[in-house]
Structure 1
Amino acid sequence: MASRRSRTRSLQVFDTELSADSVEWCPILSDSDVLCCGTYQLRREDEDDNPSRTGRLYLFEFHQEGPSRPPLTELQHIDMAAILDLKWCHVPLAERPVLALAAATGEVQVYTLSDRQEGGRSLKVLCSSPVGVERLALSLDWSTGRLDSSDVRVVCSDSEGCVSVLSMDEGVVTVLSQWKAHDFEAWISAFSYWDTQLLYSGGDDSKLKGWDLRMSPSSPVFISRRHTMGVCSIHSNPHREHILATGSYDERVLLWDSRNMQQPLSESQVGGGVWRLKWHPTQQHLLLAACMHNGFHILHCQQVLEGGGGGSCPVVASYILHNSLAYGADWSSLSLEDPSPHSSSTAEPEESLAETTGHFQIQYESPTASFDTSLEDDAGRYIPEGITAPSSSNYPAATSDSEEVTPLLSSLLASCSFYDHMLHVWRWDWTPPSDAQETTRPDSLAASSEKYAERSLNTRC
């Protein structure tokens, strides 16, 4: 039996019908139960025709687990051009939550979330701005990561290798500057949340670059070639100044001190191309990684960030129930109740299947999903079948029922995968060991890598 110090538990699976590549929880406290998911579908009807790229934006509301209904409720979906990325502004604008998305039409589109008291929550178009013709907007980031609303801007990267900085003022988004940053696709762009005159970009030319908006864009602050393949994820730590996380097709997560970009603080192999990285909203040492053909993993970075030297950050939890490329992932800021004994656990499925008195609701079924065949308990509630547990030998020793460990941290997460078009909502309960050295790296990093060959995202763009 796996350790109860760290357990991931599936709460709900949702079929997005189109390929899912981005998912974001609303960071605004009053609306932290709101989740958005974006999709991308490349359609080739004729080899001589230009392919069409269609998408759909989903809006969900999350409820704490209960016996009578699944926790996730779809509030709205909007058919549109394909969505490559989406991000909520970290602060309300004009007293409203605001969502921006990067579209295949080469636009940054901005939406506002209406209030519950206005007849139910929904997303409404606020404004949009093109960043260029015949190109795809690939990523975006808000400057508001440390809850600073004094100068709200958006950075966007695109398929022509350009980076654009846009202002957001009085409901209008305007391009302030744009420059050629990379030789090929600029997969990712991100602000330094501690100094929003600084931003970073990564491209298919395998280069990580830094930019100072007070200087000419013809001269980047630095160029790093430490990644050996395309750089596709960057996230500034909102809790620790100077700390930056980057990921690449080269299957490595690098942590940096932005004051010295010659040498990373640490290098962690995660067994799959790192499409997205997300720091935990309140825990400064926890980093979530979407690792394409090798699932989703949570890295514990405390030893590195506390000056413990180089090396790698241990993986303290893995979620490997997706059967396709792991792209979108995000933490929720929603406060969860005490761990429910009703949910099934990927860490200890045999015991959970026998003991569960709650439900695992299958909303939709997919030919390639993990849960095509569902089981019911005596009360007619669904439980998953055929989940294989990671090897228990790679976890700290399990506790007996009489030694049940009370988690110090319970987190709600969402993740999505591409070709099987699945959105998963799950929770992670964790009791950090008293000695950081106790954490070990689970074998689940390699559990799914043989299922899919690594594919460059050039094929979908």
Structure 2
Amino acid sequence: MAWKSRTRSLQVFDTELSADSVEWCPVSSNHSILACGTYQLQKGAKEEDTTPSRTGRLYLFEFQQQGYMSPPLTELQRMDTPAILDLKWCHVLLSGKAVLGMAAATGELQLYTMSDSQEGSRSLQTLSSLEVGAERLALSLDWSTGRMDSSDVRVVCSDSTGCVSVLSLAEGTLTALTQWKAHDFEAWISAFSYWDTQLVYSGGDDCKLKGWDLRIGPSCPTFTSKRHSMGVCSIHSSPHQEHILATGSYDEQVLLWDGRNMRQPLSETAMGGGVWRLKWHPTHQHLLLAACMHNDFHILHCQQALEGSGGACPVIASYILHNSLAYGADWSRLSLEKHAPCSPIVAEPKESLAESGGHLRIQYESPTASFDTSLEDDAGRYIPEGIAVASTSPTVGPVLNPDGDVPSLSCLLASCSFYDHMLHVWRWDWTRDETQQELQQC
């Protein structure tokens, strides 16, 4: 069975400051909400100013499908903040509200609640903050609620001194439970095991991936892996399969692990760029999104690796329209219509697309599928996705299907890039290629 994979840009937003984190709200009543964080290094105006300042801005958006001529993303709020290194929504409501966590360059973990205004719009308000340490940057955070478990809600945070902190949240107040020195240099990433939230993973610039059991204390890690050859900067526990862990590194490799045997990974996939963020799909257990710094954003299909066949995970879709470091990326849980809205049929313009500044499209092929990517115009203006030229026929690759008997899959995603300060919202459609099937039957 041949499958057709297509990514299409829906909207591009200039964040003005360098963008490094995007997160769709996972709470069911707020799937249309997107948060974006930025990080800007401000050098001193004078040569003697040796300490640079770091500023940031937090954006809140809502995605609405209002018709093919309207940009789907609406800005709800922006607020100036310390520079933002990471954002994560709590996966469940807390006291009836969605809560967003932010790791800041001031060494603070800050929490915001989302509320509805009298006008019906949503906005963020400060809930609580806690400094994890002086003269350090908070680099990452993760909630213990990855499997939608609302009991014993905790947050893990890593920082630039190599420390990892675990905090509790009770009655809207953050409280530090424990902190320890986990890595020799920056602890780029920390994450819970969503299946056993007494287990914590961390990765650092010392090239080590470590595990910690909070029940026995952090005096000694449960394992230390040196399988990555450079700094470990991404970790995500699978919410679908117990013991499964994905890690990424500056060494440009994505490793899949079975937490019961950390001596050897299940799979190793070269990505062509440092892997800053990894995100498992919220409902389809074999799909993994990777933000690959110098090599764009890619979706991996991990079924064969997780079933023990080994080998690299094939890339089944790519989004290649950013022009700078690929940092933030996330899946939305919002459902999309099966078919994109179509524009009226018009006569083909005489001038070329490049001359008219019209819709552009990039096509390329991989060993597993052909990719068809739609792009807004050169000025960054919104171009309705229905205007895109029809995609080409896909190549025939390995038998990779969406989980179960799903005939097609349409996903909404967001990604952001650093130096060009751009936020992209895009969709990915993965469908059976009926045309190719008919040709094969002839």
TM bucket (normalised to shorter chain) is: 0.7 to 0.9
Deviations 1:366-408 (A, max 9, x none): xxxxx337698xxxx79999x9x9xx898438xxxxxxxx961
Deviations 1:139-176 (A, max 9, x none): 00000000111100000000000000000111001111
- Structure 1: runs of 5+ lacking an equivalent: 350-358, 363-370, 398-405, 435-461
Quick one: which amino acid aligns to residue 27 of structure 1?
P
Counterparts of 1:276 and 1:242 in 2: how far apart (Å)? 19
Quick one: which amino acid aligns to residue 70 of structure 1?
P
Compared CA separation, residues 269 and 346, structure 1 to 2 (3 A): farther
User: Paired residue for 1:306?
Assistant: 307
Compared CA separation, residues 65 and 256, structure 1 to 2 (3 A): farther
Compared CA separation, residues 319 and 375, structure 1 to 2 (3 A): closer
Counterparts of 2:310 and 2:3 in 1: how far apart (Å)? 29
Deviations 1:153-207 (A, max 9, x none): 0000000000000001110011110000000000000000000000100000000
Quick one: which amino acid aligns to residue 333 of structure 2?
S
Compared CA separation, residues 312 and 95, structure 1 to 2 (3 A): same
Counterparts of 1:228 and 1:101 in 2: how far apart (Å)? 29
Q: Secondary structure at the match of 1:114?
A: strand
Q: How does 1:318-337 map to 2 (within 5 A)?
A: 318-337=318-337
**Contact preservation (8 Å) 1:361, 1:383:** no
**Contact preservation (8 Å) 2:68, 2:385:** no
Q: CA deviation at 1:66?
A: 1.3
In proportion to residue count, which structure has more strand? 2
Quick one: which amino acid aligns to residue 7 of structure 1?
R
Q: How does 1:168-247 map to 2 (within 5 A)?
A: 168-247=169-248
User: Paired residue for 2:43?
Assistant: 44
Quick one: which amino acid aligns to residue 431 of structure 2?
T
Deviations 1:301-329 (A, max 9, x none): 0111122x211000000000000000000
Quick one: which amino acid aligns to residue 38 of structure 1?
G
Quick one: which amino acid aligns to residue 179 of structure 1?
W
**Contact preservation (8 Å) 1:21, 1:327:** yes
Q: How does 1:432-451 map to 2 (within 5 A)?
A: none
Deviations 1:221-275 (A, max 9, x none): 0000000000000000000000000000000000000000000000000100000
Q: Secondary structure at the match of 1:122?
A: strand
Counterparts of 1:174 and 1:190 in 2: how far apart (Å)? 18
**Contact preservation (8 Å) 1:187, 1:232:** yes
User: Paired residue for 2:347?
Assistant: none
Quick one: which amino acid aligns to residue 21 of structure 1?
D
Counterparts of 1:306 and 1:316 in 2: how far apart (Å)? 18
Counterparts of 1:384 and 1:316 in 2: how far apart (Å)? 24
| TM-score, normalised relative to structure 1 | 0.81
- Structure 2: runs of 5+ lacking an equivalent: 344-358, 365-373, 398-405, 435-442
Counterparts of 1:415 and 1:101 in 2: how far apart (Å)? 17
**Equivalent residue pairs, number:** 398
Counterparts of 1:80 and 1:375 in 2: how far apart (Å)? 28
Counterparts of 1:162 and 1:237 in 2: how far apart (Å)? 24
User: Paired residue for 1:413?
Assistant: 413
Quick one: which amino acid aligns to residue 244 of structure 1?
L
Q: Secondary structure at the match of 1:271?
A: coil
114-123 vs 288-297, greater mean Cα deviation = 114-123
Q: Secondary structure at the match of 1:141?
A: strand
Compared CA separation, residues 178 and 235, structure 1 to 2 (3 A): same
Q: Secondary structure at the match of 2:327?
A: strand
**Contact preservation (8 Å) 1:360, 1:384:** no
Quick one: which amino acid aligns to residue 125 of structure 1?
T
| TM-score, normalised relative to structure 2 | 0.85
Compared CA separation, residues 276 and 360, structure 1 to 2 (3 A): closer
